[in-house]
Chain A
């Protein structure tokens, strides 16, 4: 059902569960700021600018990790849902269930961390949830796992509905992934980029969610029946397979915003070429096969799996990232684009995604990983990837969703906020990378005095990033609230 537009916003085609999508973006903005505040607190504590108990530090670290992964996934799913509904018929109530399960799951997770004291990191690596050394009890760990399971069930429902709708329209996944075009060079009903991306995401994220559900239930049983143990290496493989695919899917879902919104600015439709189809099909395999690059420190892993992780780390960034980035630059070149906040953020998102992959590829080499894995190099990589990639895409989508009728160029507070966010985000991630190159460890609550300078500079950039995002999201939040009331 189309919704009336609030004063000051322009008429955008409605999507099924339009209200839920807007509510998700509102929730995203709030959670992002909260998680950034948690991050700043941790950096300030490491830099001895404030004093917090290490127990609190690890609770914040756990909340920051799961909060960012969760909200990145949720906002990505909202973006994909919004644009996919332009091409296939989705049932709106499914997204409400997805959002409802997410909220209930988040409440359980926050309760387990800040009331129950769970601080075993978002990765819940077996057997850590069960062995807390008295820091948290079994109930807290179980509540955390149940919270993650609820979020996972919501995603499964969402993915099944997306898959159903895509198959309903295109007959099967082979058509939706453009296989006829890929293998024979022609297809009668070529799916748009959004459908190809959605089909690919359903395949790999669906598999990862099923694997994640299994390891979560197993961990839950182990909490109450410790004699039922799981091979720790197998558990780590399952968890990292799930975690790696899930967080990457959150970026892939958000990239759809670029395929759908940028053509509005450049007046050129995003074309589906064979190379585009090939790149998305390659990603289906590569994103699942590359997860072993998280396990280079596990010397008991089969050698072939680690070698595969290294080789695919080189390859996984190339197809989709290069094709998308190159296409974007081609579309932008001489397009006469008029920059506004939304377009600037979307292009920044692709920039952050692209450069964020570089430290990952470097760390994806076994010889480098042996030195860098437990340093701040790794948070440097994923903060580039997320803070300047996924978050920028999400903010860009939100800015576009709540755009006003009058074309607003990138000026005034928008431009200031964007610049502060960009500089703050870049600086923050670069300080992490420099610290990593200096062998400063990650995940340590207390730092040596020799490391404090980097931590303090990092805190300054973190503050700038929060300020920038705050300036950007203030008018967006206002327009989202108005739009929902309308």
Chain B
């Protein structure tokens, strides 16, 4: 029931953020463009794909073994849209704009299909890398001697950098805190060998 509601909410949000008034409103500011619109597109793709995960995966298991294919696709898409040149292009060039509204939901979808298949080690490293690189990104936005995106003002760039730093620390606390309470996804693996029985080579 919850998943169904989330699915319809995701479709609604996807339509809303794609509609001209909301799209233009969000793209007016660098902060809302990068921290609201783009994550919303990814999240919608994730939620929609999760609802139909079994149907999509059926018969295609060999295509995304261990989640490697989907993760690679998602990372390439995210890397592309992290570039200031791409962000500029998406507000100046309709083709870029169209590509953004197609690729980011697809990246979210492929991440949703791949995440449960990823080994716990990969998930842990991805989380650590995300926090670390968000700190670097925050530094780049705040210390750049010039505007990185021609379409946006310098003070918005500074604000974005500061918010990303706060988000990085928040995410670090969230990831770290989840390890201290309850069980996490990392636990979903075959049980440990009994104490004293050694391990495996």
Chain A positions within 8 Å of B, measured between CB atoms, are 1-2, 13-18, 85-92, 94, 156-157, 160-161, 163-165, 167-169, 171-174, 203, 206-207, 209-211, 213-214, 217-218, 221, 227-230
B contact residues around A206 at 8 Å (CB) = 128
Report the separation of the CA atoms of residues A14 and B198 in the bound assembly, to the nearest whole angstrom: 6
Give the contacts of B129-175 with A (CB-CB under 8 A): 129, 131-133, 135-136, 139-140, 143-145, 172
Stretch at the interface among B62-70, B87-95, B184-192: B184-192
9 pairs of A and B residues whose beta carbons are closest in the complex: A160-B124, A1-B201, A16-B199, A89-B192, A214-B135, A85-B199, A227-B145, A169-B192, A213-B132
User: B181 an interface residue at 8 Å Cβ cutoff?
Assistant: yes
- The answer to whether B128 touches A156, judged by C-beta atoms less than 8 angstroms apart, is yes
- The answer to whether A18 touches B201, judged by C-beta atoms less than 8 angstroms apart, is yes
- The answer to whether A164 touches B128, judged by C-beta atoms less than 8 angstroms apart, is no
Report the separation of the CA atoms of residues A90 and B198 in the bound assembly, to the nearest whole angstrom: 9
Q: Most chain-B CB neighbours within 10 Å: which of A86, A214, A218?
A: A214
User: B36 an interface residue at 8 Å Cβ cutoff?
Assistant: no
A contact residues around B129 at 8 Å (CB) = 213
Give the number of chain B interface residues (Cβ < 8 Å): 36
- The answer to whether B128 touches A86, judged by C-beta atoms less than 8 angstroms apart, is no
Q: Quick one: given A1-B201, A94-B121, A157-B125, are A210 and B131 in contact (CB under 8 Å)?
A: yes
Q: Quick one: given A168-B186, A230-B143, are A86 and B200 in contact (CB under 8 Å)?
A: no
- The answer to whether A86 touches B201, judged by C-beta atoms less than 8 angstroms apart, is no
Report the separation of the CA atoms of residues A213 and B182 in the bound assembly, to the nearest whole angstrom: 29
- The answer to whether B136 touches A167, judged by C-beta atoms less than 8 angstroms apart, is no
Report the separation of the CA atoms of residues A87 and B193 in the bound assembly, to the nearest whole angstrom: 8
Q: List 23 A-B contacts (CB under 8 A).
A: A15-B198, A15-B199, A16-B199, A86-B195, A86-B196, A87-B195, A91-B121, A91-B200, A160-B124, A160-B128, A163-B186, A164-B121, A167-B186, A167-B187, A173-B179, A174-B181, A206-B128, A211-B132, A214-B132, A227-B145, A228-B143, A230-B139, A230-B143
B contact residues around A87 at 8 Å (CB) = 195-196
Q: Quick one: given A85-B199, A86-B196, A161-B121, are A168 and B189 in contact (CB under 8 Å)?
A: yes
Report the separation of the CA atoms of residues A473 and B96 in the bound assembly, to the nearest whole angstrom: 63
Q: Quick one: given A214-B136, A228-B145, are A1 and B176 in contact (CB under 8 Å)?
A: no
Q: Quick one: given A15-B198, A17-B201, A164-B124, are A89 and B181 in contact (CB under 8 Å)?
A: no
Report the separation of the CA atoms of residues A214 and B145 in the bound assembly, to the nearest whole angstrom: 20
B168 CB to nearest A CB, Å: 9
Report the separation of the CA atoms of residues A230 and B143 in the bound assembly, to the nearest whole angstrom: 7
Report the separation of the CA atoms of residues A389 and B180 in the bound assembly, to the nearest whole angstrom: 31
Q: Quick one: given A14-B198, A89-B199, A218-B139, are A172 and B184 in contact (CB under 8 Å)?
A: yes
A contact residues around B195 at 8 Å (CB) = 86-87
Report the separation of the CA atoms of residues A146 and B151 in the bound assembly, to the nearest whole angstrom: 34
User: B183 an interface residue at 8 Å Cβ cutoff?
Assistant: yes
B contact residues around A165 at 8 Å (CB) = 192
Report the separation of the CA atoms of residues A14 and B125 in the bound assembly, to the nearest whole angstrom: 27
Report the separation of the CA atoms of residues A90 and B201 in the bound assembly, to the nearest whole angstrom: 9
B contact residues around A172 at 8 Å (CB) = 179-184
- The answer to whether A218 touches B136, judged by C-beta atoms less than 8 angstroms apart, is yes
A1-B201, A92-B199, A213-B129 given; name 7 further pairs at CB < 8 Å: A18-B201, A90-B199, A160-B124, A169-B192, A173-B179, A174-B180, A228-B143
